[in-house]
Amino acid sequence: MSEQQHIFDEIRPYNPDEMPVVFEELLKDRQFNVLVKGFVPWLPKSLRNGILRLLFKGVKTSQDFQVRFMKPVVKLVIMKCTNGTTFHYPVNMNKHARYLFVSNHRDIVLDSAFLDLMLHNNDFERTCEIGIGDNLLIYPWIKKLVRMNKAFTVRRGLTAHEMMRSSVLMSEYIHYAVNEKNENIWIAQREGRAKDSDDRTQDSVLKMFVMGYRNDNDNVDDNKSKGENEIIAALKHLHIAPLTISYEYDPCDYLKAEEFQFKRDVPGWKKSKQDDLDNMKTGILGNKGRVHYELSPCIDPWLDTLDASLPKKELFRMVAEHIDKEIHSRYKLYPCNWIAMDELDGTFNNDKYNDSDRERFEKYLAAQMQKVKVPNPDKAFLRERMLTMYANPARNYVAAVKG
């Protein structure tokens, strides 16, 4: 292994030579065994582990692990917890090229898991390495499992100095993974999910992408011009392709509404580790209705149209807005999105839904409201928060297609 590879040891996915050792460690982990037992409670531990070892034969890489272990699990989730998934991508997209997929964020676990299955099923050469916050790696077995599943670690809760170092390291790794490891990367357009589904690309994410770029061309005399040119060069080096994720229903909508009321009513309120686990479990096992993924074209040709003499702040703003427009214009909107927007904004999109759709959505909202466990629930506030989650994709779509 090269010295360059070693600098990424603290964040990267496991290498092929590490996979067998980590797999055996997982099988010895008590909490992991409790999880596996939940799927097949009638099988004794020795038989469960024997079957897993048999399945693991022939697994040499993290992509092998995804296909052998994760693909069946994700297909089961789709069958039990959705009304089907669809996937669209540009007809001229090169399935043998490498991309940084920058997407809106709907589910902690499944956003990238669904994408990996869709890429594999549609003959893309590689699945994705996945950026995942270390705040979600609550137990050792979770960290091991996700690193076997092509995940690299995004560190959270750092000091300003630590954050700078971490961001540079992660950026260097993303450039290395795309251009030297020949891997696709999936990463969310912002830190954490947009609780109100108003999906916006954070400038800080784009700045992080640029930090780790190393340009060997020193034949630029003007330092200011060189720096601005390198922003565009760094982003082109990653071959960004925006990705739009559309859920008909968000199973965590009531949990997000709870958070809004807690933050409104309880000064300094923060989620606990158990809250994160509850969100992960609900997101995976809850009803999502119909699910649609749509890839935009790689933005490299658009980046070539930018005026490289623009100030850095302006360049980052323009790139963020372009990614947002690509994402917003490709939402798959469902009746619930139009109903929510019409109720909140007084608009009239009756051609997008019928009385049966409205009745179904009302029943859904009522059932979700029953799950809320906030003391003294403010029902009007909670309903408005949930409606906003469904209205914002429609609002952003309308603005994007008009613009």
Give the model's pLDDT for residue 279: 86
pTM over 0.75: yes
295 touches 101 (CB < 8 A): yes
293 touches 244 (CB < 8 A): yes
Residue-wise pLDDT tens digits, 79-120 = 999 999 999 999 999 999 999 999 999 987 899 999 999 999
| CA separation, residue 331 to residues 100, 130, 187, 249, 295 (Å) | 19, 22, 18, 14, 10
Tokens 């559309």 sit on residue: 246
CA distance 333 to 338: 8
What is the C-alpha radius of gyration for the chain, rounded to an integer number of angstroms?
22
Give the model's pLDDT for residue 3: 52
| CA separation, residue 254 to residues 78, 275, 276, 382 (Å) | 21, 13, 14, 8
Q: What's the average pLDDT block by block, 10 residues per block, for the chain (403 residues)?
A: 70 92 92 83 90 90 91 93 96 96 90 94 94 81 90 82 88 95 93 87 94 66 52 96 97 95 92 82 92 97 93 95 98 98 96 97 97 93 97 97 85
Where do the domains of the chain lie, and which CATH numbers do they carry? 63-251+286-332 (3.40.1130), 336-402 (no CATH)
Give the model's pLDDT for residue 227: 47
**Among candidates 403, 400, 402, 393, which has minimal Cα distance to 341?**
393
385 touches 391 (CB < 8 A): no
How would you classify the pairing of strands 100-103 and 128-133? unpaired
Residues 6+ apart with CB under 8 A from 140: 29
Which DSSP helix (H) or strand (E) runs through 345? helix 335-345
Give the model's pLDDT for residue 161: 83
Give the model's pLDDT for residue 218: 44
Give the model's pLDDT for residue 219: 40
